[in-house]
């Protein structure tokens, strides 16, 4: 007997007999959901404008460098200086997108729904951080990699700058970790997205301005040792000093030199300390939010 | 079969005791949890989800201990909170799929389940729109859908009819009834209104100030007396007088009369009385004693 096609049958409620995955799967799903959200995917068209605009701006130096290499056979930009040169763009991306990962869940009280699932508070915080770290890493690593591929294809005289590229990738990992942790931690203290954006950008402006002013003043008084320490106040120079210069011996990207010797150790400790402080602040923040 | 059971469950906060030695057992079907605001309903739900540790006593949900097996419980229990919990810039579909994945469903299964439950709760084309523009009724449906998406064995509904208009309230209650019967999922539903729970619950638990006032089946409440509600166009009092004369008990309630059924003959008496008096009969309805009446009596009777 042939059934007519295109008929919708109400087959009633069906039970789910398939697999049920555990906490890890849920945490990964949350991280992926947040990562997509950071770039505006699965959200309104308006939410896509800023992240993709900033991604475009981040790609510009890579594209220009490739053009310069192809036409003039000259290197235009070194890999480790990429993040420092583009620090304002990275800071704006961090400020505009990190509040999205945490603020709506607090403001619209989605958090209790997550906690009524198998994931724990630690999983939640971990997933949100992982999402933002991945986003920041992609934002930095994609143009660097495009630039490197460009360099390989153009095949300039002399060997490719592979070690500089790898140094910058190591730097990108630490940049992403430090910036995302600080950004998300600051943003988590307010359920309002606008306030979060303002707080994160204020953090960047404050540290970079204070760092530049102190360094300039110290240089005027010929106190070069003090000015080299002052650069570390800016998180972008801090990671440069700790990882790219300190561990991998790249040339400093700050206008002045970084503190040598023990300075590297201090810079590394500062990076680790800032990440630890941010994660602790986040966990305390969410303990309080969950108990409400 | 026991769905959940508490034993001397106590939860003290610095200022108040939210639950005070609560011992109840809940079986399958729809169970109402009634109490005034602050009676401890939400605290009980949090403990049952394993999100809040009891100060004393214990509880088991589907045979699992709430203090040690919280994560396992949360995999097979659904929760609909009382407050708003929907991000406005997502569509109902995306949100429900995401919540399904958060409960451990693989992505494709979550998609299928989300489509299914959204249809069951009565959301159709609008489920692709951002939830920011939804009415309260639609929001409540999405909140219910996300609690059902992983096909839980038990769902905890915290004040699901809050903020709904009478029509929305009826539809929500109808849905809850269907979940308990047709879907075969046990339901614990809280409310501060007894009347609405009467229509959907098999069993009602009443708590006050964290203590158990009563726990009994609806049938137990309502079978104690059987009444019919009789409504006539005019002459309600004449009919009452005639019935009393004939030895029946008739109490006016609003425009209707509540007549106690002593025996099947009461129906004949009633029919004859209406005919003899030549009244226009509007309705005769199987009336149940409302559970409010039961609880209006002292609890220790």
- Structural domain includes residue B180: yes
What is the mean predicted confidence (pLDDT) over B230-255?
84
Mean per-residue pLDDT for B228-248?
Answer: 85
Question: Which helix (H) or strand (E) covers residue B76, if one does?
Answer: helix B70-76
Question: Is B43 contained in some domain?
Answer: yes
Residue B240 lies in a domain: yes
Q: What is the mean pLDDT of residues A152-162?
A: 87
pLDDT band for A194, please (50, 70, 90 cuts): very high
Q: In this structure, are B63 and B189 located in the same domain?
A: yes
Instruction: Give per-residue pLDDT as tens, B80-120.
Output: 999 999 999 899 999 999 999 999 999 999 999 999 999 99
d(CA A192, CA A196): 6
CB A244 within 8 A of CB A268: no
Whether residue A83 contacts residue A93, with contact meaning beta carbons closer than 8 Å, is answered with no
Residue B167 has pLDDT above 70, yes or no: yes
Q: What's the pLDDT score for residue B223?
A: 57
Q: Cα B140–B146–B152 angle (5° rounding)?
A: 120
Mean pLDDT of B170-198: 90
Closest to A16 (Cβ–Cβ): which among B49, B109, B146? B109
The answer to whether residue B139 sits within a structural domain is yes
For residues B165-184, average pLDDT: 93
The residue range of the domain holding B189 is 4-221
Mean pLDDT of A111-118: 94
Q: Is B122 on the interface with A (CB under 8 A)?
A: no
CB-based contact (8 Å) between B53 and chain A? no
Mean pLDDT for all residues in chain B: 88
pLDDT in tens, A41-57: 988 888 899 999 999 99
Same domain, B164 and B232: no
Over range A185-202, report the average pLDDT: 94
pLDDT score for B159: 93
- Intra-chain end-to-end CA distance of chain B, in Å: 28
d(CA A279, CA B180): 43
pLDDT of res. A77:
86
Tokens 């003043």 appear where?
A217
Q: Between chains, do A20 and B75 touch, taking CB under 8 Å as contact? A: yes
Our count of domains for chain B comes to 2
CATH code of B270's domain? 3.30.70.980
The closest alpha carbon to A63, from A89, A82, A87, A49, belongs to A82
State the pairing for strand pair B203-208/B186-191: unpaired
B120/A29 Cβ within 8 A: no
Instruction: Classify residue B204 as left (phi > 0), alpha (psi -120 to 50) or beta.
Output: beta
Indicate whether B248 belongs to any domain: yes
> Does ipTM surpass 0.90 in this model?
no
The mean of the pLDDT values for chain A is 92
Smallest CA-to-CA distance from A12 within B119, B156, B168, B154 is with B119
Sort out which chain B residues have CB atoms less than 8 A from A44's CB and list them.
89, 130
Q: Which residues contact B45 (CB under 8 A, 6 or more apart)?
A: B79, B156, B158, B188, B190
Residue B206 near residue B35 (C-beta atoms within 8 A): yes
Window A:133-172, CB contacts with B under 8 Å: none
Instruction: Report CA Rg, chain B.
Output: 23
Cβ-Cβ contacts under 8 Å, A15 against chain B = 151, 184
Same domain, B54 and B121: yes
Q: Report yes or no: A241 and A80 within 8 Å, Cβ to Cβ.
A: no
Q: How far is A97 from chain B (nearest CA, A)?
A: 15
Residues B76 and B167 in one domain: yes
Asked whether residue A59 carries a pLDDT value surpassing 80, the answer given is yes
Q: Which residue from B32, B30, B24 is spatially nearest to B5, judged by alpha carbons?
A: B24
Are residues B64 and B213 part of one domain?
Answer: yes
User: How many Cβ atoms sit within 10 Å of the Cβ of residue B106?
Assistant: 16
pLDDT range class, residue B222, cuts 50, 70, 90: low
pLDDT at B165 > cutoff 60? yes
* Domain closes at, from B200, B221, B242: B221
Q: Which of B221, B246, B277 is the last residue of a domain?
A: B221
- What is the spatial distance between Cα A171 and Cα B68, in angstroms, rounded to a whole number? 42
CB neighbourhood size of A71 (10 A): 9
B62 reaches A (C-beta below 8 A)? no
Q: Which residue has the tokens 């998300």?
A: A184
At A156 the pLDDT is: 81
In this prediction, residue A255 carries a pLDDT of 84
pLDDT-derived band at A208 (thresholds 50, 70, 90) equals very high
Q: Does A121 touch chain B (CB under 8 A)?
A: no
Percent of chain B beyond pLDDT 90? Answer: 58
pLDDT band for position B36 (cuts 50, 70, 90): confident
The answer to whether residue A85 scores a pLDDT higher than 70 is yes
B19 and B135 fall within a common domain: yes
Indicate the residue among B221, B249, B284 that finishes a domain. B221
- B113 and B132 in contact (C-beta within 8 Å)? no
Q: Is residue B155 part of a domain?
A: yes
Same domain assignment for residues B61 and B169 = yes
The answer to whether residues B247 and B147 belong to one domain is: no
B153 with B281, same domain: the answer is no
Would you say residue B288 has pLDDT above 70?
Answer: no
Residues of B in contact with A29 (CB under 8 A): 98, 101-102, 107
Same domain, B187 and B229: no
Is position B37 within any domain?
yes
Find the mean pLDDT for residues A9-27: 88
Say yes or no: B196 and B56 in one domain: yes
Write down the pLDDT at residue B300: 42
CB contact under 8 A, A105 and B87: yes
B150–chain A Cβ distance below 8 A for any pair: yes
Q: B37-41, B121-125, B191-195, B268-272: which range is least confident on average? A: B191-195
- Give the C-alpha distances (Å, rounded to integers) separating B117 from A13, A40, A215, B10, B161: 8, 26, 61, 35, 18
- B301 occurs within a structural domain: no
Separation CA B92–CA B139 (nearest Å): 9
Quick one: pLDDT at residue A17? 92
B45 and B137 together in one domain: yes
Q: What digits encode the pLDDT tens for the residues A257-279?
A: 898 888 899 999 999 999 999 99
CATH number at residue B162: 3.40.50.300
Round the CA-based radius of gyration of chain A to a whole number and report it. Answer: 23
- What pLDDT sits at residue B232? 85
């Amino acid at each position: 007997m042939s059934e007519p096609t295109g008929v919708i049958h109400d087959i009633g409620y069906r039970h789910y007999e398939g697999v049920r995955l555990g906490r890890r799967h849920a945490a990964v799903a949350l991280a992926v959901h947040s990562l997509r959200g950071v770039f505006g995917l699965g959200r309104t068209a308006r939410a896509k404008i800023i992240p993709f605009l900033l991604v475009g701006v981040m790609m510009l130096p890579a594209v220009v460098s490739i053009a310069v290499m192809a036409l003039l056979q000259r290197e235009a930009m070194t890999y480790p200086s990429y993040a420092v040169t583009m620090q304002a763009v990275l800071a704006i991306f961090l400020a505009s997108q990190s509040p999205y990962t945490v603020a709506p869940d607090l403001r619209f009280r989605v958090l209790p729904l997550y906690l009524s699932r198998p994931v724990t508070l630690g999983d939640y915080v971990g997933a949100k951080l992982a999402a933002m770290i991945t986003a920041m890493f992609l934002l930095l690593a994609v143009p660097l990699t495009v630039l490197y591929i460009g360099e390989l294809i153009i095949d300039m005289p002399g060997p490719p700058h592979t070690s500089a590229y790898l140094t910058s990738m190591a730097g990108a990992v630490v940049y992403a970790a430090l910036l995302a942790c600080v950004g998300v931690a600051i943003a988590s203290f307010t359920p309002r997205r606008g306030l979060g954006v303002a707080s994160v950008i204020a953090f960047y402006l404050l540290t970079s301005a204070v760092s530049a002013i102190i360094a300039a003043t110290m240089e005027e008084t010929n106190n070069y040792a003090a000015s080299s320490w002052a650069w570390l106040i800016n998180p972008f120079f801090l990671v440069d000093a700790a990882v790219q210069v300190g561990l991998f011996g790249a040339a400093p990207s700050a206008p002045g030199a970084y503190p040598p010797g023990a300075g590297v150790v201090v810079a590394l400790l500062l990076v680790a300390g800032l990440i630890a402080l941010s994660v602790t602040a986040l966990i305390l923040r969410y303990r309080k939010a969950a108990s409400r | 079969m026991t769905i959940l059971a508490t034993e001397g469950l106590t939860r003290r906060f610095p200022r108040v005791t939210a639950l005070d030695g609560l011992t109840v057992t809940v079986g399958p079907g729809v169970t109402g949890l009634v109490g005034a605001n602050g009676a401890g309903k939400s605290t009980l739900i949090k403990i049952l989800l394993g999100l809040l540790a009891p100060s004393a006593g214990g509880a088991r949900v589907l045979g699992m201990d709430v203090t040690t097996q919280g994560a396992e419980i949360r995999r097979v229990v659904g929760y609909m909170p009382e407050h708003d919990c929907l991000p406005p810039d997502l569509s109902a579909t995306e949100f429900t799929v995401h919540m399904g994945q958060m409960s451990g469903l693989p992505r494709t299964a979550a998609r299928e389940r989300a489509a299914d439950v959204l249809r069951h709760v009565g959301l159709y084309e609008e489920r692709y729109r951002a939830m920011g523009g939804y009415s309260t009724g639609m929001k409540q449906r999405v909140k219910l859908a996300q609690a059902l998406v992983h096909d839980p064995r038990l769902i905890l509904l915290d004040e699901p009819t809050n903020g709904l208009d009478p029509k929305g309230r009826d539809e929500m209650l109808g849905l809850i009834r269907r979940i308990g019967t047709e879907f075969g999922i046990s339901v614990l539903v809280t409310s501060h209104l007894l009347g609405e729970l009467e229509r959907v619950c098999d069993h009602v638990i009443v708590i006050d100030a964290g203590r158990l006032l009563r726990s009994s089946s609806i049938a137990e409440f309502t079978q104690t007396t059987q009444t019919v509600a009789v409504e006539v166009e005019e002459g309600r009092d004449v009919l009452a007088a005639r019935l009393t004369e004939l030895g029946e008990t008739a109490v006016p309630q609003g425009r209707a009369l509540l007549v106690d059924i002593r025996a099947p003959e009461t129906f004949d008496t009633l029919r004859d009385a209406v005919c003899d008096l030549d009244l226009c009969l509007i309705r005769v309805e199987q009336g149940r004693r409302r559970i409010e009446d039961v609880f209006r009596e002292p609890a220790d009777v």
